[in-house]
C-alpha cells in the first residue's frame, strides 16, 4: 500500500473517500441496517407477550451481560445514571458521607453522589489514560469516605489494583463506573467485575446501545443483588410493602429485548473499533503529525474497547472548527471538569485544583471510530487533520 501523502487529489482522498462527504461521529443508521430484522423480531416478541416491565427478556439480558462481564449477578436498570444512583443507595451512602471519584467524566458520576446527599471528592487523572490517578486516591480517604468510584473512561480501565488495595485497607467499597467500557479488561479481568458493584450504560452511543435509555448493575454479592432488585422497584418486596425507599429504576422489557439482539454482535463491533483504532495509529504515524497530535495511549496487556478515540492537541478548538467545515464530526469530552462546574461551586474547588483534568478539558478531541467507518473515511479524517497543521 502506498503512503497516504503521495498526492492530494481534487475530488477524492487517497483511498477513495469523497472529499465533501460528511463523516459522522457515530453512524447508528448504518448499524441498524445490519440488525434491523433481529431488532424488529425482538420488539415483536415483546409486543406479542405484552410483558413490558421486567419479565423474561430482562432476566435473560441480566444473565447474558453478567456472564459476559464475569459477575454472578446482573440487575437491569433504567439508565447508566440510575445505575450509579442505585449503587450508592444500596450501599447506604448519604448525607455527611464522602465519595472519591474523577472530575474528568460525564456529569452523572458526580451528580449521583450529590443526589444521595454525599460530597464528591475529586481526585485528578493520569494524563495518559484520562482515568483517576491511583497514586492520589489513598491520600484523599478520610473517616467520612464511604465509597470510591473509579471511572473507566473512553473504553479503557483505570489502574484498578492500587485502588482496590487502598479500598481494602480502609474497608471502603469500590463502585466501578464502566458506562463506557463494556467488554474492556484490566489485567485479564473484565471491567465491572472487580469492585463491589459495576455500573453500565446502554445509552444509544455506547458500544452496546439501546433504542433509548437503559443500564445494568453487576455484582458478585447475592444479598446485594437482591437488594438492588428491591430498590429498583421503589424498595418494595412483597408488592406494596416497603422496607426501604428505593425508586423506579426498572429497565423496559423492550429495551432488554433490543439489547439482547444487539449483544450478539458486540464482540464483532468491538473488534472493528479496535481495528479502526489500530488503523488510525498507523495513519497518524504516516502523516507525520506527532508534534501536533497525540494519539490514545493504551496500557500494555489490557483490552481497550474504544468507545471513543481521543486525540490531544494544543489547537483543539481551531481544529474542531476546521474539521466541521470539511464535514467531519468530532466531539469534546469534556469541556469543563466537574470540580469547576457551577453546581459544584459549594465544594470549594478552584482552577488549578486538578490540573491534569483541566488540561485534558482544553486539548482533547474525539474523532469518529465507530465500527462501520471505512478505511477511506478514516484516511480522509487524517488527511484533513494533516492539512490543518501543515
Q: Assess whether the previous peptide bond of 135 is cis (omega < 30° from 0).
A: no
Cα of first residue to Cα of last residue in the chain, in angstroms, is 23
Q: 66 pairs with which residues across the strands?
A: none
pLDDT band at 90 (very low <50, low <70, confident <90, very high): very high
Does the pLDDT at position 4 exceed 70?
A: no
C-alpha span between 378 and 373 (Å, rounded): 7
The stretch 298-310 carries a mean pLDDT of 97
- Mind listing the pLDDT tens digit for each residue in 41-84? 999 999 999 999 999 999 999 999 999 999 999 999 999 999 99
Say whether domain 34-262 belongs to CATH 3.40.640.10: yes
Does the pLDDT at position 9 exceed 50?
A: no
Q: Identify which of 77, 26, 40, 54 has the alpha carbon closest to the alpha carbon of residue 262.
A: 40
Does the pLDDT at position 18 exceed 90?
A: no
34-262 and 265-389 in the same fold: no
pLDDT band at 6 (very low <50, low <70, confident <90, very high): very low
In the chain, where are the structural domains located? 34-262, 265-389
The stretch 7-36 carries a mean pLDDT of 75
Say whether domain 265-389 belongs to CATH 3.40.50.970: no
Q: Identify which of 343, 293, 337 has the alpha carbon closest to the alpha carbon of residue 313.
A: 293
pLDDT value at position 19? 62
Share above pLDDT 70 across residues of the chain, in percent, rounded to a whole number: 95
- Mind listing the pLDDT tens digit for each residue in 317-373? 999 999 999 999 999 999 999 999 999 999 999 999 999 999 999 999 999 999 999
C-alpha span between 169 and 389 (Å, rounded): 49
Please, which residues have CB within 8 angstroms of residue 165's CB and are 6 or more apart in sequence?
none
Is the Cβ–Cβ distance between 296 and 144 less than 8 Å? no
Q: Identify which of 316, 307, 328 has the alpha carbon closest to the alpha carbon of residue 382.
A: 328
Kindly report the pTM of this predicted structure.
Answer: 0.94
pLDDT band at 281 (very low <50, low <70, confident <90, very high): very high
- Mind listing the pLDDT tens digit for each residue in 105-136? 999 999 999 999 999 999 999 999 999 999 99
pLDDT value at position 5? 44
Does the pLDDT at position 174 exceed 80?
A: yes
Better-scored residue on pLDDT, 59 or 2? 59
Enclosing H/E stretch for 287:
helix 266-287
Alpha-carbon distances of 339 from 146, 152, 229, 266, 355, rounded to whole Å = 19, 18, 32, 34, 11
Amino acid at each position: 500500500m502506498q503512503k497516504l501523502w503521495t498526492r492530494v487529489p481534487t475530488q477524492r482522498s487517497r483511498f477513495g473517500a469523497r472529499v465533501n462527504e460528511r463523516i459522522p461521529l457515530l453512524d447508528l443508521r448504518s448499524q441498524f441496517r445490519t440488525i434491523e430484522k433481529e431488532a424488529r423480531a425482538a420488539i415483536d416478541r415483546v409486543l406479542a407477550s405484552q410483558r413490558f416491565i421486567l419479565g423474561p427478556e430482562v432476566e435473560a439480558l441480566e444473565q447474558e451481560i453478567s456472564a459476559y462481564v464475569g459477575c454472578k449477578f446482573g440487575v437491569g436498570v433504567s439508565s447508566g445514571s440510575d445505575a450509579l444512583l442505585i449503587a450508592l443507595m444500596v450501599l447506604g451512602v448519604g448525607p455527611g458521607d464522602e465519595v472519591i471519584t474523577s472530575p474528568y467524566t460525564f456529569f452523572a458520576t458526580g451528580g449521583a453522589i450529590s443526589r444521595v446527599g454525599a460530597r464528591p471528592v475529586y481526585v485528578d487523572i493520569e494524563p495518559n489514560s484520562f482515568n483517576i490517578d491511583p497514586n492520589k486516591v489513598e491520600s484523599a480517604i478520610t473517616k467520612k469516605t464511604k465509597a470510591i468510584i473509579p471511572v473507566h473512561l473512553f473504553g479503557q480501565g483505570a489502574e484498578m489494583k492500587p485502588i482496590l488495595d487502598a479500598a481494602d485497607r480502609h474497608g471502603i467499597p469500590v463502585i466501578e463506573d464502566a458506562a463506557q467500557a463494556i467488554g474492556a479488561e484490566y489485567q485479564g479481568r473484565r471491567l465491572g467485575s472487580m469492585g463491589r458493584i459495576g455500573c453500565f450504560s446502554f445509552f444509544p452511543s455506547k458500544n452496546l446501545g439501546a433504542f433509548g435509555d437503559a443500564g445494568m448493575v453487576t455484582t458478585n454479592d447475592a444479598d446485594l443483588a437482591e437488594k438492588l432488585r428491591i430498590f429498583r422497584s421503589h424498595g418494595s418486596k412483597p408488592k406494596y410493602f416497603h422496607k426501604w425507599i428505593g425508586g423506579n429504576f426498572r429497565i423496559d422489557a423492550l429495551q432488554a429485548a433490543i439489547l439482547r439482539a444487539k449483544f450478539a454482535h458486540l464482540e464483532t463491533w468491538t473488534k472493528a473499533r479496535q481495528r479502526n483504532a489500530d488503523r488510525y495509529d498507523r495513519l497518524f504515524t504516516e502523516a507525520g503529525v506527532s508534534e501536533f497530535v497525540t494519539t490514545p495511549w493504551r496500557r500494555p496487556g489490557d483490552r481497550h474497547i474504544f468507545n471513543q478515540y481521543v486525540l490531544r492537541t494544543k489547537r483543539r478548538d481551531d481544529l474542531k472548527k476546521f474539521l466541521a467545515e470539511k464535514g467531519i464530526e468530532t466531539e469534546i469530552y469534556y469541556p469543563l471538569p466537574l470540580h469547576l462546574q457551577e453546581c459544584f461551586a459549594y465544594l470549594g474547588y478552584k482552577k488549578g485544583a486538578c490540573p491534569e483534568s483541566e488540561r485534558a478539558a482544553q486539548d482533547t478531541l474525539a474523532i469518529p471510530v465507530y465500527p462501520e467507518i471505512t478505511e477511506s473515511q478514516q484516511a480522509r479524517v487524517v488527511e484533513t487533520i494533516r492539512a490543518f497543521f501543515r
